[in-house]
Amino acid sequence: MKYLQSTFLIFVLFILPASAETGYELWLRYNKIQNPELLNSYLGQIKAFNVIGTSATHDVIKNELSLGLSGLLGQPFEPSTNDDASLLAGLSDEPSIVKYLSESELKQIGKEGYLVKSVSQKEKSRFLITAKDPAGLLYGTFHFLKLLQTHQNLASINVLENPKVDIRILNHWDNLDRTSERGYAGFSIWDWHKLPDYLDQRYIDYARANASIGLNATVLTNVNANALVLTPAYLEKVKALADLFRPYGIKVYLTARFSAPIEIGGLDTADPLNKEVIKWWEEKVQEIYRYIPDFGGFLVKANSEGQPGPQNYDRSHAEGANMMGDALKPFGGVVMWRAFVYSSEEPDDRAKQAYTEFNPLDGTFRSNVLVQVKNGAIDFQPREPFHPLFGAMPKTPVMMEFQITQEYLGQATQLVYLAPMWKECLDADTYVNGKGSTVSKVIDGSLHDYSITGIAGVANTGTDINWTGHPFAQANWYAFGLLAWNPEQTADQIAEDWIRMTYSNDPKTIATIKDMMMNSWEASVNYMTPLGLHHLMGTGHHYGPAPWVSNLSRADWTPVYYHKADAFGVGFDRSESGSNAVNQYSPEVVKIFNSKDKVPEKFLLWFHHVRWDFEMNSGRTLWNELAFRYQDGVNAVRKMQGQWQSIKPQIDENRYRSVQMLLNIQEKEAIWWKDASLSYFQTFSKQPIPDAVEPPTKSLEYYQSLRFPFAPGIRPSW
């Protein structure tokens, strides 16, 4: 491992010309600090480092400090064994560390938490990184390096951090054939065919990247699961990855296909109450733990979009989840049972179905079962109100599922920084225990005293050299980790640190890129689905606009089901006079969402069917406002193009050109969304495009004729 890392370092430092940034290093670039004053000051303060103690994680820490300090400070740093070194890293019970710690500091450091501080003794000052467990020590190490990467003053540094959420996990929708459902950055990074013997350097760098942002878990396989991953041939491969990730504090989880007892077990049922089935899962779990003693558990998509589940046997979600929970319990494993369900027979509003099915089950799940809920009730749309299940299951740990991969948010051709969207959801007030009952307090367990908490992000990694396709999509991976660690952090601060580490510490560059990022999500909502519109994307691949599609096998897969445009107006009536989905929220929230006049305009058409001439806050009619919003979105992309151009000299040529070309694509796509959507909605509103809005350049028939049979990320069977 050491060999692999130093080879990589040599490659990065000496072979690539300074300007050829591929993006492979993510935010862990460790390029030499260019400001001589700052560099000298750091060199004066950090002369040697000593990692006290031994474990595989300690070795990782030594490697990372060598790599980071040598790169950033421009001279070789090797671990020293001197207790007097200016940087000491060690667990808090090491004698040479504990002497620097106060009782209260010791008390405050929790599981996986850390303390980074400067101390002075006998007129000598030094830095301390400490924690109660090796994972915390590794997180503290990355924090220390980040201070240097972001050019912070180290003089009186004192940072005490504890994660607010227990399970901080990536969900890879990766298939065993290496395709990645909704992946836009190449193939899956798991090379199943060559595992377990070939250990790609990417696995190590993936683990480093995750540990650097506090992620401690990963589900390797797609929620649309293949039971084969639970067979010995694959478990050996999973074990190889788990062994590699362990020193980085990362636990491995798998998706469990509910019908596995039939498919790989030779049983004729998967009924969760059947004795044979129960025994099969118990034995399967025992087998898995023989390979991977710290296996995390299962993620399950059941009775959703054609996946098998307990309802095939007239059993409830709880009965299915509990059966697996019981099997995992003796080993400390958990079940993450997804609430993304909508039945094929159910004629009701799809937005209501998860709540309808899961809310009555509250209190019936085993203690090691978490219910995993998407941020909104439909499906990772550009903007959704928070899911009504948050706050509605006080006796069941409800965990968050965000989508990092940009299935509905520009895929890998658009710059869309997702942290503001996630924050809108996390900061939303459910009012379940009165004002201030935010979604983040549900998720971090503080509202209902959950015994276990979690937050999942559907990963956006792939084999592209820069991991994520769009260089700025890296920021979404980064931001997810930071928000999983502490949902209270701001999108702004996260963006700033990411920019400093990934691009530059130059104030103008930071300000410019930050402005681009912070406005990018609102822009994308405007040019795709403004004012609460949703699910208007192309069929299957979800690439581009297709609001006219009306003829799929299920009504609730069609855009017309969601926008309901007609001669009167547009929007889905989920108010009390419509599907009444609004009633799944607390009364205080109902009051706001149920009223056309009180609902924030961003959710207007989510909850209401609104007349084309309804007067909006701007004084415009709904039709005109819609047109303005589409234009606003396009204008915002043009602004980003100009901003990017204005910092050209500060950005390396590779990444500059790449982002520039992608922004040009984004502009085209934004115009396409505006033109196709307005041309289509105009057939109902029968009103002219307002003067300030650029009229569509092609006919509606043209937009309707576009086909993208090979758009990326599509599930092969769809």
Catalytic residues, by residue number, are: 305, 379, 407
Indicate the residue among 223 and 570 with the shorter CB distance to ligand BDP: 223
| Distance from C-alpha of 670 to C-alpha of 63, rounded to nearest angstrom | 44
Q: Which is nearer to ligand BDP, 224 or 368 (CB)?
A: 224
Min. distance of Cβ 347 from ligand BDP in angstroms? 21
Q: CA–CA separation, 260 vs 327, rounded Å? A: 14
Nearest to ligand BDP of 61, 370 (CB atom): 370
Which residue's structure tokens are 């758009």? 711
Instruction: Tell me the closest approach of the beta carbon of residue 239 to ligand BDP, in angstroms.
Output: 27
The rounded distance, in Å, linking the Cα atoms of 405 and 466 is 14
- Write phi, then psi, for 123 (nearest 5 degrees): 60, 10
Q: What is the DSSP string of 305-351?
A: TT---GGGGT--HHHHHHHHHHHHGGGT-EEEEE-----SS--S-HH
Least distance CB 124 / ligand BDP (angstroms): 55
**How far is the C-alpha of 552 from the C-alpha of 540, rounded, in Å?**
10
602 neighbors 524 (Cβ within 8 angstroms): no
**171 bridge partner residues:** 219, 458
Tokens of 255: 């998706």
Kindly report whether the peptide bond that precedes residue 196 is cis, defined as omega within 30 degrees of 0: yes
- Tell me which residues touch ligand BDP (CB under 6 A): 181-182, 223-224, 301, 305, 340, 379-380, 407, 715
| Min CB(512)–ligand BDP separation in Å | 33
- H-type alpha helices, 429-490: 439-443, 473-485
Question: What is d(CA 266, CA 262) in angstroms, rounded to the nearest whole number?
Answer: 5
Q: Rounded to the nearest whole angstrom, what is the least distance from the CB of residue 185 to ligand BDP in the complex?
A: 16
3-class secondary structure per residue, 17-85: CCCCCCCCCCCCCCCCCCCHHHHHHHHHHCCCEEEECCCHHHHHHHHHHHHHHHHHHCCCCCECCCCCC
Question: What string of DSSP letters covers 495-523?
Answer: HHHHHHHHT---HHHHHHHHHHHHHHHHH
**Nearer to ligand BDP (CB atom), residue 342 or residue 623:** 342
Quote the CA–CA distance of 498 and 475 in Å, as a whole number: 7
Collect all residues with Cβ–Cβ distance below 8 Å to 716 and sequence separation of at least 6. Answer: 175, 179
> Rounded to the nearest whole angstrom, what is the least distance from the CB of residue 179 to ligand BDP in the complex?
12
Q: Pull the structure tokens for residue 45.
A: 């303060």
**Angle at the Cα of 175 (from 524 to 177), degrees rounded to 5?**
125
- In the complex, the smallest distance separating the C-beta of residue 305 from ligand BDP, rounded to whole angstroms, is 6
Distance CA 258, CA 266 (A): 14
Q: How far apart are CA 129 and CA 159, in angstroms?
A: 10
DSSP one-letter code for 11: I
Inter-residue contact 543 to 411 (CB < 8 Å): yes
Least distance (Å) between residue 319 CB and ligand BDP: 21
Chain length of the chain: 718
How does DSSP classify residue 248?
G
Q: Choose between 343 and 446: whose C-beta lies nearer to ligand BDP.
A: 343
Nearer to ligand BDP by Cβ, of 21 and 181: the residue is: 181
Q: Which amino acid is at 117?
A: K
Compute the least distance from the CB of residue 390 to ligand BDP, in Å.
17
Minimum CB–partner distance for residue 307 and ligand BDP (Å):
8
Q: What does DSSP say about strands 114-121 and 87-91: parallel, antiparallel, or unpaired?
A: unpaired
Closest CA to 389 of 403, 404, 371: 371
What does DSSP assign to residue 584?
Answer: G
Tokens of 696: 């569509």
Pick between residue 354 and residue 637 the one whose CB is nearest to ligand BDP: 354
Place of tokens 């990092």: 404
Smaller CB separation from ligand BDP, 30 or 340: 340
Q: Cβ closer to ligand BDP: 417 or 543?
A: 543
Distance of closest approach, residue 200 Cβ to ligand BDP, in angstroms: 26
Burial of 135 (0-12, 13-18, 19+ CB in 10 A): buried
Considering the complex, what minimum distance in angstroms separates the CB of residue 403 from ligand BDP?
7
Span between the terminal Cα atoms of the chain, in Å: 40
Q: Which is nearer to ligand BDP, 536 or 689 (CB)?
A: 536
Pick between residue 44 and residue 306 the one whose CB is nearest to ligand BDP. 306
- CB of 224 or CB of 474, closer to ligand BDP: 224
Find the residue with minimal CB distance to ligand BDP: 379
> At a CB cut-off of 8 Å and minimum separation 6, what does 166 contact?
452, 453, 454
